[in-house]
Amino acid sequence: MPPASSVMIGNENQPYDPGPTVPSESMPSPPSPTESVSTQPARNLTQSVVRTLAMQAGFLEAGAVSLPHPGSARDALRFEQFIQSGFAGSMQYLARRNEEGVLVRADIRTPFPWARSILVCLAGYHSQAPLSTAPASPSAGWIARYAWSGRPLQPGESIPKGGDPAQLRPSDYHKVLLKRLRTLESSMRTAFGGFESRAYVDTGPVVERAAARAAGLGWTGKNTCLIHPTLGSWNFLAVLVTSLPLAEEEAALAIPDRCGTCRRCLDACPTGALIEPYKMDATRCISYLTIEHRGEIDDNLKAGIGRQIFGCDICQDVCPWNQIASRKAPIVAQGSGLATRPELVNPDLDWLASLESADFERLFNGSPVRRAGFAGLRRNLAIAMGNSRLSRYRARLQEWAGPHSDRGNDPSREDSSSVQLTPLQSAARWALRQLGSTGEEQ
């Protein structure tokens, strides 16, 4: 699924009281990854040790928050409102309740009564590749930046049939960051002794962005993303839930909301998913539609999807804080397992449309893109082809549209039979209608 810091799920769907203003220069500098930590078990959980150990494990930044923190009840209420409003769409895992009818994800202490603190770690996926909002060929699709990740071929690893040994292999941030969390967890046991814990990367009953905000790692932007003042919002969030207490004097200082009067993200959202500042209807979000939603996509939303075939970066790419991050934030190291696969940046629609199921598995098995599924990716490609207005896609779309899509010598005409169309067929027929007889020959 999309990363917890991204726009897809509107967990933080209301404005919040940012608390006391904290000047950016008062934020503590990140500790050196080489800073030594005592191997003798400590009595109390401390922010400095957490941050040092997290950086040694490969994260860019980290913080800890005690449970319950001052905003716990408010965050639980907002999550309840998000679910009650139907904004989660078909993501039923978000609406799971316990036997008492309490939303499991609203408060981490519901599934884990022993939890006394959450460690939140940031890992960046910033790269020097173009933004989704930059000029591009009309035949280019867009895959969300976080899903470009790859890794070098490992010693002794066989090359997939038809694969290039020099090409990066697919990697999934879930696995890469979970490994780092396990390293952090081991170091924590050395530093603090035994404790109960759970490690999650977008897979647990945690509202990660709420925890990250409470841990002093940023504020909730109007696009519902967590924004760090120097790292922006191009970050993964990984959490370690622990039974370790955090002393009151170790509570993180809140970073105030710095969005000001800016509303670039709201104005740029093509499908109107950001229905007001800090509030999202995920059922209109392109990330939800192209990844989580398995069925047919509403015709009223297809034009807004544009060339996005997996996820969406628009509300982040227009954010001024990410423009700052593009100058200051570290570029992901090539050996981190999260390197950019060049072929996934502005990928050619023809190339992706030519893939068969086996090709899809070879290219995306182990990649976040696989979550959309082969049929889902083709559905998304059909919509992007229709939005391109390039008539060279007509033959492919007619193939996907199924029998009788060209009835009456009009390839855009709907099949009047009672046969239930698949999401791909429906998308292809919509795309043919967009091409009509005026598609550009390019």
pLDDT per residue over 24-76, tens digit each? 333 334 444 444 444 455 567 899 999 999 999 999 999 999 998 888 888 88
Per residue in 300-356, pLDDT tens? 999 999 999 999 999 999 999 999 888 877 777 656 799 999 999 999 999 999 999
Digit-coded pLDDT (tens) for 99-119: 888 888 888 898 999 999 999
Q: Which residues of the chain have pLDDT under 50?
A: 7-39, 407-409, 411-412, 415-416, 439, 442
Its pTM stands at 0.86
Residue 432's identity, in one-letter code, is L
The DSSP 8-state label assigned to residue 134 in this structure reads S
CB atoms near residue 350 (< 10 Å): 15
pLDDT of residue 436: 84
pLDDT of residue 162: 61
Give me the amino acid identity at 129. Answer: A
Residues identified as active-site: 202
Residue 97's pLDDT is 87
pLDDT at 163: 62
Q: CB of 37 within 8 A of CB of 237?
A: no
Whether 349 and 142 have beta carbons less than 8 Å apart is answered as no
Assess contact for 204 and 198: CB atoms under 8 A.
yes
Residue 14 amino acid letter: Q
279 touches 295 (CB < 8 A)? no
3-state secondary structure 173-231: HHHHHHHHHHHHHHHHHHHHCCCCEEEECCCCCCCHHHHHHHCCCCEECCCCCEEECCC
Res 437: pLDDT: 52
